[in-house]
């Protein structure tokens, strides 16, 4: 695959080559049907098998029992920002939110449009460079839930523990889902836009325990009530079937890597390589967040000048490393090391960083 680059894009992002090859192979004639899965009915036995397999794989990979509903919804993770409060903040209830940056900000904004958000930790005061410890959380006793964003894709911070709380815990795991071992049963609900660690864009994985589902708001339009899609296994209306098909292939790939533990071992090596170069050259590559709060998925840094950052990004691109520009709101360089980015990509980028420093 001579012309494939190492793709460090933050999302949509790199997919396993193995998965892309299966998609390519199956594209014109899906398993003897004489047509592509894109052209097939979502009521066909072929699609049903994909949907059922994907649901089973989610339960298996995340260690969940049948008490958890697995849904494939549309509208991105961003739709969950308002669908959650619309369902669970009825009758004057408040949702508690840990604010660790852009995405939790947006979740809070939507909650305040629909009902009321309580900020259980205000990350703005620490420029979002710090993930709160358990002691720093101010969790109200009477909120309907506590919402946490496990990885801050833009700033490059990540929770390395699951907050303890008596409240039902809801997590936006969009940018670090399936990247390491984690007790997903601590969440009553978790959700992720698929375009970072799970597949192409177009579908959002929403997983919800039945006791929360039963509290869904019956007064909402049909598609906004979670029960509709949970009961119909995401087939109430036409789902983004092609995206879900690719997600199923990615889930099978995750399982083949040894599940969350197998993926974690590779991801740990990847982030150690890049942070290793940053820490050994801290006069040149400056990490932008507190060490304890560093993300394994999105590694952010600054170089000595903006000119050097520009040069770094364009020199990197010239040799086949793409997607390294920091988010426009923070600048600098961001290295996204999602699951499908091969270890070799991190090894080569680490070498490139050292060479770049020597030359510049
Ligand atoms: C990318 C991202 C989102 C937004 O996802 P969309 O699917 O584009 O709505 C939300 N939360 C986090 C943590 C993200 O990384």
pLDDT in tens, 198-215: 999 999 999 999 999 999
Mutual orientation of helices 241-256 and 45-62 as an angle, nearest 10°?
40
Provide the pLDDT confidence category of residue 2 given band limits of 50, 70 and 90. low
The closest residue, in CA terms, to atom 5 on ligand 1 is 77
Q: 101: CA distance to ligand 1 center in Å?
A: 12
The closest residue, in CA terms, to atom 7 on ligand 1 is 76
Q: 0.85 exceeded by the pTM? A: yes
Closest-lying ligand 1 atom to the alpha carbon of residue 193: 7
CATH domain 21-256 topology? 3.40.640
Q: Domain spans of the chain?
A: 21-256, 260-359
Closest CA to 195 of 317, 323, 301: 323
pLDDT of residue 1: 54
Task: Say whether pLDDT at 222 is over 90.
Answer: yes
Angle at the Cα of 272 (from 267 to 278), degrees rounded to 5? 135
Closest-lying ligand 1 atom to the alpha carbon of residue 151: 13
Give me the mean pLDDT over the 95-113 stretch. Answer: 98
Q: Coil, strand or helix: which one is 202?
A: coil
CB-based burial label for 146 (10 Å; 0-12, 13-18, 19+): buried
CATH domain 260-359 topology? 3.90.1150
Q: Is 149 in the pocket of ligand 1 (CB under 6 A)?
A: yes
Share the mean pLDDT of the chain: 97
pLDDT of residue 330: 87
Q: 151: CA distance to ligand 1 center in Å?
A: 10
- Residue 122: both structure tokens together: 């205000």
Contact 168, 144 (CB under 8 A): yes
Our CA dihedral for 202, 151, 176, 106, rounded to 10 degrees, sits at -10
Q: How far is CA 122 from CA 132, 136, 148, 338, 340, in A?
A: 9, 10, 12, 27, 32
pLDDT of residue 309: 97
pLDDT > 70: percent of the chain: 99
Our CA dihedral for 234, 237, 243, 245, rounded to 10 degrees, sits at 60
Question: Tens digit of pLDDT for each residue in 40-85?
Answer: 999 999 999 999 999 999 999 999 999 999 999 999 999 999 999 9
- Residue 16: both structure tokens together: 């396993």
Q: 32: CA distance to ligand 1 center in Å?
A: 36
Contact 91, 141 (CB under 8 A): no
What sections of 126-239 are H helices per DSSP? 210-213, 226-231
Question: Tens digit of pLDDT for each residue in 280-337?
Answer: 999 999 999 999 999 999 999 999 999 999 999 999 999 999 999 999 988 999 999 9
Q: Is 193 in the pocket of ligand 1 (CB under 6 A)?
A: yes
The closest residue, in CA terms, to atom 2 on ligand 1 is 174
Question: Tens digit of pLDDT for each residue in 243-280?
Answer: 999 999 999 999 999 999 999 999 999 999 999 999 99
What is the DSSP code (8-state) at residue 30?
G
Strands in 237-356 per DSSP E: 286-287, 298-302, 321-322, 333-336
Q: Alpha-carbon distance 336 to 300, whole Å? A: 9
Q: Which of 153, 196, 200 is the pocket-test mutation for ligand 1 (most atoms within 8 Å of CB)? A: 153
Provide the pLDDT confidence category of residue 3 given band limits of 50, 70 and 90. confident
Closest-lying ligand 1 atom to the alpha carbon of residue 175: 15
Q: Is 174 in the pocket of ligand 1 (CB under 6 A)?
A: yes
pLDDT > 90: percent of the chain: 98
Closest-lying ligand 1 atom to the alpha carbon of residue 149: 13
Q: 112: CA distance to ligand 1 center in Å?
A: 19
Q: Alpha-carbon distance 333 to 286, whole Å? A: 10
């Amino acid at each position: 695959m001579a012309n494939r680059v190492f793709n460090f894009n933050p999302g949509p992002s790199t997919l396993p080559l193995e998965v892309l090859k299966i998609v390519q192979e199956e594209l014109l004639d899906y398993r003897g049907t004489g047509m592509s899965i894109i052209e097939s009915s979502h009521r066909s036995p072929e699609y049903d098998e994909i949907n059922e397999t994907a649901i089973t794989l989610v339960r298996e990979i995340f260690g969940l029992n049948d008490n958890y509903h697995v849904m494939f919804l549309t509208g991105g993770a961003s739709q969950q920002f308002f669908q959650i409060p619309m369902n669970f903040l009825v009758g004057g209830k408040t949702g508690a939110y840990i604010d660790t940056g852009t995405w939790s900000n947006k979740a809070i904004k939507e909650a305040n449009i629909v009902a009321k958000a309580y900020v259980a930790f205000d990350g703005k005061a620490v420029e979002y460079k710090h993930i709160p410890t358990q002691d720093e959380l101010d969790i109200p006793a009477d909120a309907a839930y506590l919402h946490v964003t496990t990885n801050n894709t833009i700033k490059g911070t990540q929770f390395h523990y699951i907050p303890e709380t008596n409240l039902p815990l809801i997590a936006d795991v969009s940018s670090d889902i399936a990247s390491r071992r984690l007790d997903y049963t601590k969440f009553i609900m978790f959700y992720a836009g698929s375009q970072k660690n799970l597949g192409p864009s177009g579908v959002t994985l929403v997983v919800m325990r039945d006791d929360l589902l039963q509290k869904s708001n019956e007064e909402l339009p049909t598609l906004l009530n979670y029960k509709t899609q949970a009961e119909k296994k995401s087939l109430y209306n036409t789902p983004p079937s092609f995206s879900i098909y690719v997600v199923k292939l990615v889930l099978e790939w995750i399982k083949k890597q040894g599940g969350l533990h197998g993926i974690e071992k590779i991801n740990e090596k990847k982030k150690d390589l890049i942070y290793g170069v940053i820490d050994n050259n801290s006069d040149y590559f400056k990490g932008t967040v507190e060490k304890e709060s560093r993300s394994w998925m999105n590694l952010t840094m600054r170089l000595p000048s903006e000119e050097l950052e520009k040069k770094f990004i364009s020199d990197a691109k010239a040799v086949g490393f793409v997607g390294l520009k920091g988010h426009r709101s923070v600048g600098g360089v961001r290295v996204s090391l999602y699951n499908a980015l091969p270890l070799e990509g991190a090894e080569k980028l680490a070498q490139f960083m050292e060479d770049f420093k020597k030359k510049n």
